[in-house]
A and B are shown apart, each in its own frame.
Chain A
Amino acid sequence: MKKTISLAMAAALAVSGAATTVPVFADDVTNITIWSPTDRESIEAWWKEKISEWNEEHPEIQVSREAIDRSDSYAYDNKIATAVTSNDLPDIFYVDGPQVSYYAANGITVPLDDYFTDEDKADFVKSSMTQNTYDGKLYAVGATESSVAFYYNKDYLKECGVDTDDLDSRTLENPLTTDEVAEIAEKCTTDDYVGTHIIMDHGEGLPYALEPLYLSAGKDYISEDGKEADGYVNSEEAVNTTAWLADLIAKGYANVEPITDEFLNGACATMIGGSWEIATLEQNADFDWGVTYYPVNAETKKAVSPCGDWAAAISKDCENADAAGEFLAWLMNTDNVASYAAAIAKPATRSSAYETEAMAEYKEGARALIVDQLENTAVPRPRTPSYATFSAAYAEAMTNIFSDAASNEEADTDYIQSEFDTVVDTFTEDYETYYAE
């Protein structure tokens, strides 16, 4: 009888082993599988090089990586969610910054604190460490960061009589204010141009790129502890900030449906855009452009900027977390972080990485400005397990608010208030159903 059971278990084990591509039989060798989104050629090459380097030096821990062909980040989350149902998760997988809390709170990922020294932790930029920490423990480590800044078409702004030298000379002590942005947008809106560009992807892009405006006004989307939305996203400050944005749309200074590459194609004068736009503009723009710090609230003048990028986490299904942790610590060392960041053309998370040859171009110009923001003003998105629900609800509310403003040609604060009250209800319901004690 006992024999039958153990035979059945062995069979089940063999089946599950085949399914997850992790052979569990080999003696002494630990196999580690990694999932991360498929990326450009330079990154795919980086992975191949690093993994073969590691595998050669560590015959006892053999690593392989699967490139995941996501269509959008929701599809990637779906793949994780379906794998969770059947314990098919890989040992290590990549997560987008604000999802770290979601996975951690649901016990999908395990803490990484043991694998990184305090010295290591101090070397990572604070924004990245904060984003990847949940409930006091570190759940993910990433090599790159992102930021958002204010871009402007110098040639066109000069035509409109805007002092671009003044914009060029702005510093973190003296950044552009929302009033000034509105003023520039008004000046530059003509039949052929809109004044500015507000990211409108109906998705994560909205809460990501716009959060600093709310923080600068004094209230984040969610409370610090990640439990409350009431009094935050529906606060007076938040409503006023949103009204300011809706006003830009209502007056026609920004498009309610901006098309891709609107700024690059010379259809709008300025934009609030991601750090990744720098490379695109350098390669393609046929006009002179500039970039300055993320605008601040006209009254508080408090400088804030967005941040967050994909990071690696160890899954609950990992059988040898120590081996995975050892690999991860190596993968995220200064040299590897620097070469990864250089290959993907994003700012690195480790301060020491900027000292390396690979990151030399971050010493000046637009990229130095991005690093300056990351080190001094970056604030991660709210760390709450209900972030995905909040994000979807917020994006939906903003779509409605902008559509309403465009149709009625004015920003309606009562309507904004009612939409944000709905966001609060949605968030609270999700949080209380699944996470409140």
Chain B
Amino acid sequence: MAKAEKKKLSGRKRDERVAAYIFVAPAVILLIAFLVVPMIYTVYFSGFKYQIMRPDAMKFIGLENYQKLFSDKNFWLALKNTVYFTVIVVPCQCVLALALALLVSKKFRGVAVFRTMYFAPQLTSMVVISVLWSVLYNANPNTGLINSILVSLGMSPIKFLSDASTAMNSIIFMSAWQGAGYQMMIFLAGLQGIPRDQYEAASVDGATKFKQFLYITIPGLKGTIKYVIMITMIQAMKLFTQPYIMTQGGPKNSTKTLVYYIYTQGFQKGNFGYACSIAAVFFVIVVCMSMAMKKVTAATD
């Protein structure tokens, strides 16, 4: 290699480094200012006895909030519920989203309509969805559509939301249905990145659709799948709106999640210092989980 060319190459490396810092700086500065700083505040407040309406009477109590937290059975219950929700909903939602994306990835007459339909639960307000599903799930066959169908089929009605054993599963089912459109869009974007000629070559070779899916689509989507699983997991861990509107964490705490617990402790009951300590522990747990996932997926490369 000629000397001049080597010099050019190292010049490029330098250019790249400068460019990298220019590119990264705005995002990093904003993230630090508006996420890291509030988070530090949160950790700071977690060391205080702090009634939300009386910031001037804040009192430093060290690790007392954390001591209380680890012996608070509601916290452990909320953690258990959150993990249960995540473990079940992530695979369901991702598989559903991928299936939907495959249905509408190719161009055909009316594809825009079907894409819009599958994305519709995301376009409808969560308030409407929760109101509607509360009524669909209603325990009384005279007022609940699903139970009226069950009864007409000769089955006994199910108390979907008012029985502790079914409430969380009912929320999981609804959430997977509601949320799939979000991941569908990401899969769709990923599917556009798989070159069409690969499929054409495979079908000339006589590979079945299923084989094409297995040997072209899945490997082609590898990066997307990893990303989707990670963000679905993180979003699932943050479950709040559905239990807040549909069940208020009940019955018998069966749908109480960590973020719901943070919100009700901090805002409804005003135990802001305590809520901050839950938030800090929540943060540590989920960061550990996502870092572990990153390690696991990196190992599969």
- Partner-B contacts on A (CB < 8 A): 71, 74, 77-78, 80-81, 84-85, 102-103, 106-108, 191-192, 194, 202-203, 255-257, 259, 262, 267, 388-389, 392, 395-396, 399-400, 402-404, 406-407, 430, 433-434
Contacts and interface: CB of A to CB of B under 8 A. Distances in A.
Top 9 closest pairs, chain A to chain B, by CB: A403-B251, A202-B248, A106-B53, A399-B250, A256-B162, A81-B52, A389-B269, A106-B54, A403-B162
A407 B269 contact: no
Interface in B145-177: 159, 161-164
B162 A85 contact: no
Interface in B1-60: 49, 51-55
A191 to B, nearest CB: 8
A262 B143 CA distance: 9
Contacts of A108: 53
A107 B54 CA distance: 8
A257 B134 contact: yes
Contact of A399 (B52, B135, B142, B251): B251
A82 B247 CA distance: 26
B209 interface: no
Given A257-B159, A257-B161, 20 more contacts: A77-B267, A78-B267, A81-B270, A85-B52, A85-B55, A192-B142, A257-B134, A257-B138, A257-B144, A388-B270, A389-B269, A395-B248, A396-B250, A399-B248, A399-B250, A403-B164, A403-B252, A404-B251, A430-B269, A434-B54
A433 B49 contact: yes
Contacts, number: 100
Interface string B119-134: 0000000010000001
Contacts of A396: 248-250
Nearest to B252: A400
Nearest to B131: A260
Given A106-B53, A202-B250, A259 B143 contact: yes
Contact of B250 (A81, A389, A400, A434): A400
A84 B251 contact: no
B268 A406 contact: no
Contacts of B269: 388-389, 392, 430
A123 B140 CA distance: 47
**What bracket does the count of chain B residues touching chain A fall in?**
20 to 34
Contacts of B142: 191-192, 194, 267
A255 B252 contact: no
B264 interface: yes
A102 B162 contact: no
Interface in B195-248: 247-248
A84 B264 CA distance: 18
Contact of B140 (A74, A255, A407): A255
Contacts of A389: 268-270
Contacts of B53: 80-81, 84, 102-103, 106, 108
Contacts of B253: 400
B180 interface: no
B139 interface: yes
28 contacts: A74-B267, A80-B53, A84-B55, A102-B53, A106-B51, A106-B53, A108-B53, A202-B248, A255-B140, A256-B162, A257-B134, A257-B139, A267-B143, A388-B268, A389-B270, A392-B264, A396-B248, A396-B250, A399-B248, A400-B253, A402-B251, A403-B159, A403-B163, A403-B250, A403-B251, A407-B164, A434-B51, A434-B270
A429 to B, nearest CB: 9
A104 to B, nearest CB: 10
Contacts of A192: 142
Interface in B92-110: none
Contacts of A78: 267
Contacts of A77: 267-268
B142 to A, nearest CB: 6
A191 B151 CA distance: 12
A80 B140 CA distance: 39
B135 A259 contact: yes
A257 B268 contact: no
Interface string B247-273: 111111100000000001001111100
A88 to B, nearest CB: 12
A253 to B, nearest CB: 12
A49 B247 CA distance: 41
A175 B301 CA distance: 76
A203 B248 contact: yes
A68 to B, nearest CB: 16
Contacts of A103: 53
Nearest to A401: B251
A223 to B, nearest CB: 20
Nearest to A316: B56
A303 to B, nearest CB: 31
A203 B144 CA distance: 22
